[in-house]
């Protein structure tokens, strides 16, 4: 056995995202509320903040946080599939180019760069969705520039892609903290019944801990003891 004692701190890594288009940058920042103006739209920082709140609530054994993590995971998975399909369709536009035309990747000479402060792994899937859109926007802008896509169709595609991301943001924005634990719902307390009335039904599989997001934190020992048959995450 070693006589040495190691006093090691946690691992750290600086992570940034680079965006090459104004279209993607606007989705990152969102839109602030303006008096008599259009409705505000949350951006990526607020989306990440909500996912961090859900993770913390899940760590405190709130089954509604687990339910919302599941919903957002499914939404992001569907959204990324849609975005990838659109990206493949956009890349196919360049098959129409005549022989002898060689085009390099479209990159911004001075891309926007944002630091990422994320404590909820699921939030990275939202970031990846935005980078997918940024790549799509670059392809569409280039295709329009070299006349293999009309300007009208370009804007239509860009709006479709942006709406996919805004839809994911909108879903996360509906999350409400219950402030309760599994035990409250198992015991059917008045507070639990009030939350169910406000937030909707809680599936039994979620309450038992059998159905959880791939990105959920492990169930606490107390939660495992109160939910027979719950999955014991490593």
Contact yes or no for 182/209 (Cβ under 8 A):
yes
Residue 58's pLDDT band (boundaries 50, 70, 90)? very high
Structural domain contains residue 160: yes
| Cα–Cα distance for residue pair 158/165, rounded to 1 Å | 11
**In this structure, what DSSP letter does residue 96 have?**
G
| pLDDT at res. 232 | 43
Query: What is the band of 215 on the pLDDT scale with cuts at 50, 70, 90?
Result: very high
Give the chain's largest Cα–Cα span. 73
Query: What is the extent of the structural domain holding 89?
Result: 24-30+40-97+118-179
Give the model's pLDDT for residue 234: 41
Q: How sure is the predictor about 1, in pLDDT bands with cuts at 50, 70 and 90?
A: low
Q: Do the domain assignments include residue 212?
A: no
- Whether 28 shows a pLDDT value over 90: the answer reads yes
* Mean pLDDT (whole number) for 21-32: 93
**Structure confidence at residue 226 as a pLDDT band (50, 70, 90):** low
Q: What's the pLDDT band for 233 if we cut at 50, 70, 90?
A: very low
Q: In a 10 Å sphere around its CB, with 0-12 CB exposed, 13-18 middle and 19+ buried, how is residue 20 labelled?
A: buried
pTM: 0.86
Q: Identify the pLDDT of residue 223.
A: 57
Query: Which of 47-51, 63-67, 229-233 has the weakest average pLDDT?
Result: 229-233
Residue 74 forms part of a structural domain: yes
What pLDDT, on the 0 to 100 scale, is given for residue 109? 86
In a domain, 46, yes or no: yes
Q: Could you report the per-residue pLDDT of 167-205, keeping only the tens digit for each?
A: 999 999 999 999 999 999 999 999 999 999 999 999 999
The answer to whether residue 199 is domain-embedded is no
Closest CA to 17 of 35, 1, 6, 29: 29
Distance of CA 93 to the CA centre of its chain: 28
Burial pattern 27-41, b for ≥16 Cβ within 10 A else e, equals bbebeeeeeeeeeeb
Look at residue 104 in the predicted model and tell me its pLDDT: 80
pLDDT tens digit string along 86-102?
A: 999 999 999 888 888 88
The answer as to whether 137 is a domain residue is yes
58 lies in some domain:
yes
Per the domain annotation, does 132 fall within a domain?
A: yes
Indicate the number of domains in the chain.
Answer: 1
- pLDDT band at 4, cuts 50/70/90? low
């Amino acid at each position: 056995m070693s006589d040495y004692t190691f006093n090691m701190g946690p691992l750290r890594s600086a992570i940034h995202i680079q965006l090459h288009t104004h279209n993607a940058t606007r989705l990152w920042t969102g839109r602030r509320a303006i008096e008599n103006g259009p409705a505000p739209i949350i951006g990526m920082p607020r989306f990440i903040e909500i996912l961090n709140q859900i993770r913390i609530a899940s760590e405190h054994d709130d089954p509604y946080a687990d339910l919302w993590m599941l919903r957002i995971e499914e939404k992001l998975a569907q959204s990324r599939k849609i975005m990838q399909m659109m990206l493949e369709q956009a890349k196919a536009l360049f098959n129409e180019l005549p022989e002898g035309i060689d085009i390099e990747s479209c990159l911004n000479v001075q891309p926007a760069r944002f630091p990422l402060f994320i404590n909820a792994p699921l939030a990275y899937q939202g970031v990846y969705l935005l980078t997918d859109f940024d790549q799509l926007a670059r392809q569409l802008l280039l295709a329009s520039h070299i006349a293999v896509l009309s300007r009208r169709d370009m804007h239509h595609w860009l709006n479709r892609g942006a709406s996919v991301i805004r839809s994911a943001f909108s879903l996360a924005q509906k999350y409400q903290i219950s402030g309760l634990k599994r035990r409250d719902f198992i015991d059917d307390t008045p507070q639990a019944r009030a939350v169910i009335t406000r937030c909707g039904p809680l599936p039994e599989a979620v309450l038992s801990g059998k159905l959880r997001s791939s990105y959920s934190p492990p169930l606490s020992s107390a939660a495992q003891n109160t939910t027979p048959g719950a999955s014991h995450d490593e």
